[in-house]
Structures are given as C-alpha cells and as structure tokens.
Amino acid sequence: MRAQTVAGLDIGTTKTCAVVAACGPQGLEIIGVGEAPSAGMRRGVVTDLEETVRSIEAATERAERMAGVPISHVYVGVTGEHIQSTNNRGIVAVSGEEREVVAGDVKRVLDASKIINLAAERQIIHALPRHYTVDGHDGVTDPVGMSGGRLEVDTHIITGGATFIANVLKCVHRAGLEPAGLVFEPLASSAATLLPEEKVVGVVLLDIGGGTTDIAVYAGGGALHTGTIPVGGNILTNDIALGLKTNFAEAENVKRVYGTAAKTETDETSFSVKTLDGRNTRMVTTQELRAIIEPRIAELFRMVRAQIAEHVPRDQILGEVVLTGGGARLAGIDAAAAEIFALPTRIGYPATLAGLTEAVKQPEYATAVGLVLFGPKTENGTTNGVRRGIFGRVGAWLGELWN
Ligand SMILES: Nc1ncnc2c1ncn2[C@@H]1O[C@H](COP(=O)(O)OP(=O)(O)OP(=O)(O)O)[C@@H](O)[C@H]1O
Ligand SMILES: [Mg+2]
C-alpha cells in the first residue's frame, strides 16, 4: 500500500478523466488513469447531475483499478463563463520586532490582497501571488527572511459563481469523493505542459476543449491573466455536420481524419461522407472541409486575441503560444495560431511527471495530469473555497515538495 497519493478529477464537456499519482523515488509518479464519456456537463456547467455522477464514478473506478488504491480525495477542475479574474495588491506592515518577514506576514498580505468587491454569489477560487515588494523593492519571489517594514504582494485573483461550483461539488460528493480543492482548469493544463522559463518570458496557454477554450497568460513567472471563451472543438463538429449535411458522429470522425485548420493544402483529396440518415454516402473534397473549419478556428483565435489585448498591457512581451485540450489535435492548428498571434506555437503534451504512459501524453490529458501537480500547490496559503481535513496535511506536505 502506497502511503501518499494525490488524485485529480477533470470533468469535461466530452470526457471525465481521473488521475492518481503517488510519491515514488523519482518524485511524483502517475499510477492510475481512468476515463469515461461525459454527457452531463456543458461548458463547465452541470446540466445533468445523474449523468455527471455516473461519469465521475466510472472514471474514478477505472483509475482506482489501475492504481490498485482507493481514491478518497480529489482536486477538482473547474471552468466556465462564470469564472472571472482580476489583478489586485495587498499591503501589510511586517509584524515582528526584528522587522524580518516571516511566513505569517506572507499569509496576511495574501489575505489582504483577497479583499475585493465580491458579489454575494461569488467566491474566490485562487489568489496567486505574482511577486512581492519589500519596502518598495519589487520583483521579490520569496520574501520570507528578508528585512523590511512594509510587505506588498501583487496577486492574480480568480473567482467563480458559487452555485455553479456547488453543483460540480455536489456531483463529486454524490460519487463518494471528497473535494480536496478547486483548480481553474487552464492553470492545471499549464502545470502539466509549461516550463518555469516559459512563464518568466511570457506565454499564452490555450486549452481547447469540447465546450470551452480556457486561457492562461503568464509573464514574469506568474499568472497575468486567465479567462475562458465558451467555444471549443464541438462547434467545429456542429459546423461540419451542418455544412456537409451529415450526423454528429460522422462529422466528428471526418474532423479527426480529414480536418485541418490550414488555409491551403497542397494535395487535395476527396472522401465519402454518410448522408444524414446514414444510408448513403456522397463525395466531399478536403477543400470543402477546410472552408468550414478554417474560418471558425480563425474566429476563435481572434476572440482569444481580443481578450488578451483587453487584459494584458500592450507593452508586455509574450514569447510563445502553447495549445492543449483535444482541440489541439486538429491538424494545422499550431500554424493557424502562429499566424493569428504572430508568435511561435507548440502543442502542449503533458511531460512533467514520471510514470506517464504513452496514452496519457496527449494534449487532452493536460488538465487531468496538471491537477495532481498544481492541486497540492494551492494548499499553501493561496487557496480556495473547499475546506479540508486530514488531506490538508498531506496536501501541504506534497506542496512543500514543489515550492
Ligand atoms: N484528432 C482530433 N482532431 C480534431 N479535434 C479533436 C481530435 N481529437 C479530439 N478532438 C476534439 O477535442 C474536443 C475534446 O477535447 P477535450 O477532451 O480536451 O475536451 P473536454 O475537456 O471534455 O471539454 P471542456 O474542457 O471544454 O469541458 C472535442 O471537440 C473533440 O472533437
Ligand atoms: Mg477540458
């Protein structure tokens, strides 16, 4: 029996994925993964409680079987249009007579930064420290032990609609699990795919799921902006079904096999597509398909670009775009992003954990893998709504390993 395990639960629009990791000799190691189709969740919002509970149960059972250990507590991914973010600042006087910053001061200043105008139905999910300032000297990453009288922190605050979150947690509870904490999904995807250096230089992570595209922008080592756009890969499937007059399943298949976000293709081919009733087929060219997909992808990236322009200072240098989520599997999507953002673009494959089987090293598992990495980190003074018991200590212990 392994002593310390940590589990993540990503309840998506198309799939639910549970990941279990244990502390092995080489650090955190994935020991179990389980996946199940999800039909009760749309764009981060529970639309069918029973369906969602069933999907969570199926995914966790599979992960438990593979890991050989029961899952009791899970870090739960959340997303959706109800999520909002803002940057804030907290200021406190350093308490000790020695005028030396101690851990308690850091906690107090983070708490001070959490004081924002919060509507009654909203809750803080994360208060992520970006950098500290000690007696006017900014850019401090860890102020503990430094001398000074005045401690300031710049934080990125992420809030969510309490009732939307309560419904997700209700499903988790009904599936027999205890939520250990909440994580806004693109932060998890980032933890699984981005290097610390990328977060320093400036990077845009886009997790293109079935129902939403989640955004996380990092610069100077911390999160500068996070957000979500209620458009994901499923809209392409919809467009293809309408455009080629076929059913959803056939459209999904066509998208995966022949779909491309490229504007031009050198070798055009044609392929057969089932008619709506599934009884006949007709020929379609890759050119026709591209004419459906390319404008949608361009539109999505322009929406992302507009959101970034609104929230990220114009003079902020960004070095790269990283794409995760199942939508990142579309052929040519990296080139399309590179063109619209005018930045080098790569696909984010989860790679920061040992024990990853080949099957999990795909962009659509970035969120689930990242939950076990980022979840415990949220425990240290920066958390988020869900209270914990025994697991809090385990989380803090795991958190220390990465801080
Ligand atoms: N090979 C592929 N080519 C194009 N699109 C793909 C491919 N594989 C998966 N997708 C798309 O990826 C999307 C699902 O991605 P993902 O599994 O990340 O979503 P999710 O986490 O369930 O949803 P969300 O994050 O929006 O709640 C679907 O729209 C699916 O059609
Ligand atoms: Mg997702």
Ranges of each domain in the chain: 84-157, 234-292
The pLDDT value given to residue 19: 97
Does the beta carbon of 350 lie inside 6 Å of ligand 1?
no
Please tell me the pTM assigned to this model: 0.93
Q: Which pLDDT score, from 0 to 100, does residue 379 have?
A: 61
The topology under which CATH files domain 84-157 is: Dna Ligase; domain 1 (3.30.1490)
For residue 281, report the distance from its CA to the centre of ligand 2, in Å. 33
Q: Closest by alpha carbon to 364, among 208, 240, 142?
A: 208
Ligand 1 atom with least separation from CA of 367: 21
- Please say whether the beta carbons of 216 and 375 come within 8 A: no
User: Could you tell me if the CB of 14 is within 6 A of ligand 1?
Assistant: yes
Residue 397: predicted pLDDT: 39
| Domain 84-157 shares a fold with domain 234-292 | no
**For each of the chain's 403 residues, which pLDDT tens digit applies?**
445 899 999 999 999 999 999 988 878 899 999 999 999 999 999 999 999 999 999 999 999 999 999 999 999 999 999 999 999 999 999 988 889 999 999 999 999 999 999 999 999 999 999 999 999 999 999 999 999 999 999 999 999 999 999 999 999 999 999 999 999 999 999 999 999 999 999 999 999 999 999 999 999 999 999 999 999 999 999 999 999 999 999 999 999 999 999 887 777 899 999 999 889 999 999 999 999 999 999 999 999 999 999 999 999 999 999 999 999 999 999 999 999 999 999 999 998 777 777 788 999 999 999 999 999 988 643 444 454 433 343 444 344 333 3
CA of 95 relative to ligand 1 center, distance in Å: 50
The pLDDT value given to residue 210: 97
Nearest-angstrom CA–CA distance, 55 and 348: 26
Residue of 87, 91, 126 lying closest to 105 (CA atoms):
91
Residue type, 32: G
CATH architecture of 234-292: Alpha-Beta Complex (3.90)
In this prediction, residue 265 carries a pLDDT of 72
Q: What are the distances in angstroms from CA 108 to CA 135, 150, 382, 384?
A: 16, 12, 11, 15
Using alpha carbons only, what angle is made at residue 173 by residues 182 and 28, rounded to the nearest 5 degrees?
A: 50
